[in-house]
Structure formats: C-alpha cells, structure tokens
Amino acid sequence: MKGLAASWLIWALLSACFAALTAIFAKVGVANVNSDFATLIRTVIIVGVLSAILAATGQFQPLASISPRTYLFLALSGLATGASWICYFRALKLGEAARVAPIDKLSTVLVAIFGVAFLGERLSGPNWAGVALIACGALLVAYRG
C-alpha cells in the first residue's frame, strides 16, 4: 500500500477525478452567484483546508528557508492559477460543463508544448501523437454539431 501512495500515477488519477467533480460542483455553484465571487469562496475554502492539513501533519516550513527564486515562481504559479480559475468559473457560468471542461483540459496540450519549449523536456513520436489526440478529443467533445 505504501508503494501505491508514492505513485505519481495514483495521485494524477485522483487529481483527474477531483477535477471532474470540481467542474460539476462549480457549474451548480455558480448558477446564482457572480463567478468571480464564487472563485473567492472556493479560494478561501482551499486556503482553510490546506492550512488544516499542514497544521495536522506538521509540514509548515520557516518562510526564510524558501529561496527568492522559489517565491517568484510560486507567485507566478499562483497568479496563473487565479487567472485560470477566474476564466474557468466564468466559462462554467456561461457554458455547459461538458463542453467547458474539455477545452480547459487543452492545458494538457499546452503543458507538453511549454515543457519542451521552456523546460527542455523531450517527447517521443508516440508522445506527440498522444498530445495531438488529446487536442482533437477535447475539441470533438466540446463541438456542438
């Protein structure tokens, strides 16, 4: 069981499940509230839950132990996350969850491209074929014919 808990694949699959639930719960949640305010409520809940987890597990770190470079990239990541959530909730407010979520998941395609372009990662031919299929699949799921 310990090996399973250390598997990136298990955590990634759980992430996908929770992301799917996020779309469904958020679609219902934004029905009668401003989408930006809904994002704020969601963010406050996330901060509370993460704070409780860190406190319960003793994982808080001294702020001085974190490098300025790390702060910079975590800040940029936080800004990108906030922008993503604001856009996602607005899209859910305006569109169908079953069409919004696949377009949002084009982030997978962009991560592959950005990983190669900015992080020096390498993808094989079959990897690129998978990226292309994800892109086509997302577009086909979102398409209203």
Ordered mean pLDDT values, 10 residues apiece, the chain (145 residues)? 79 90 92 94 96 96 96 96 94 93 93 96 98 95 86
The beta-carbon contacts of 130-134 under 8 Å, at least 24 apart in sequence, are: 134/105, 134/106, 134/108, 134/109
Give yes or no: residues 37 and 14 share one domain.
Answer: yes
Domain that holds residue 66: 7-95
Looking at the structure, do residues 44 and 90 belong to the same domain, yes or no? yes
Is the domain of 28 the same as that of 77? yes
Q: Is 2 within the bounds of a domain? A: no
Question: Same domain for 84 and 32?
Answer: yes
Q: Are residues 85 and 131 in the same domain?
A: no
Residue type (1 letter), 88:
Y
Question: What pTM was estimated for this model as a whole?
Answer: 0.82
